[in-house]
Amino acid sequence: MEFFLSTFRNRIDAKGRVSVPAPYRALLSRRDSESGLILGPDISAPALVAGGRDYLDGVNRRIDELPDLHPEREMLIDGLLPFLSELSLDQEGRIQLGAQFLEHAGLSAPGEAVFVGRRHSFQIWEPKAWEARAAEARAKAAAYLRGEGRS
């Protein structure tokens, strides 16, 4: 696999641990020498965004587009970086989700989570919320493709 694809539904145990799907792990360890993972809240959806260190690089690049001491640059820094965490995987390939992450995505400590591949990053959703979002996205994607005449 070259991109994060497909969806996986995994269990969150009482300690807040979730197994990162093995295909995603393989992808992460290929990109970064170490198997770390950057996790943060999605800024416009009740979900979490995750990726390898290159995901963080993307955020940094975005910040460095703006000149030093520029107010918008400071806004970007304060609006993004403090909410990102670098999580390490345990020997079994699990990450531990903190309280604020669980809350943002509407996840519960013993419960379930859906991993959603999005090419260079992936998301973590509460199953019900993902179901709703997926239905909407499928419908809109279909309509868009039909409207363009492309199959």
21 contacts DNA (rule: CB under 7 A): yes
Pair 56, 121: CB distance under 8 Å: no
DSSP state of 126: -
* Contacting residue, 5, 7, 25, 76, with DNA by CB under 7 A: 25
Residue 108 binding a second copy, by CB under 8 A: no
CA nearest to 108, candidates 131, 121, 89, 125:
125
**Element holding 125 (H helix, E strand):** strand 121-125
Contact between 37 and 50 (Cβ < 8 Å): yes
Is 82 a binding residue for DNA by CB under 7 A? The answer is no
Supply angle C-alpha 136, 52, 6, rounded to 5: 35
Q: Which residues ranging from 90 to 109 are in contact with DNA (CB under 7 A)?
A: 90-94, 96, 98
Nearer to a second copy, 65 or 109 (CB): 65
Q: Which two tokens stand for residue 70?
A: 């520029």
**Residues 25 and 120: beta-carbon distance below 8 Å:** no
Stretch that binds a second copy, among 14-22, 89-97, 104-112, 143-151 (CB under 8 A): 143-151
Q: Residue 8 pairs with which residues in a beta bridge? A: 115
For DNA, the binding residue among 22, 75, 139, 143 (CB under 7 A) is 22
Using CA atoms, how far apart are residues 115 and 8, in angstroms rounded to an integer? 5
Q: Which does 5 bind (CB under 5 to 8 A by kind): DNA, a second copy, none?
A: a second copy
**Cβ at position 143, least distance to DNA in Å:** 32
Q: Which does 96 bind (CB under 5 to 8 A by kind): DNA, a second copy, none?
A: DNA
Q: Which residues bind a second copy (CB under 8 A)?
A: 1-7, 23, 43-44, 53, 56, 60, 62-63, 72, 74-86, 116-119, 133-134, 136-142, 144-146, 150
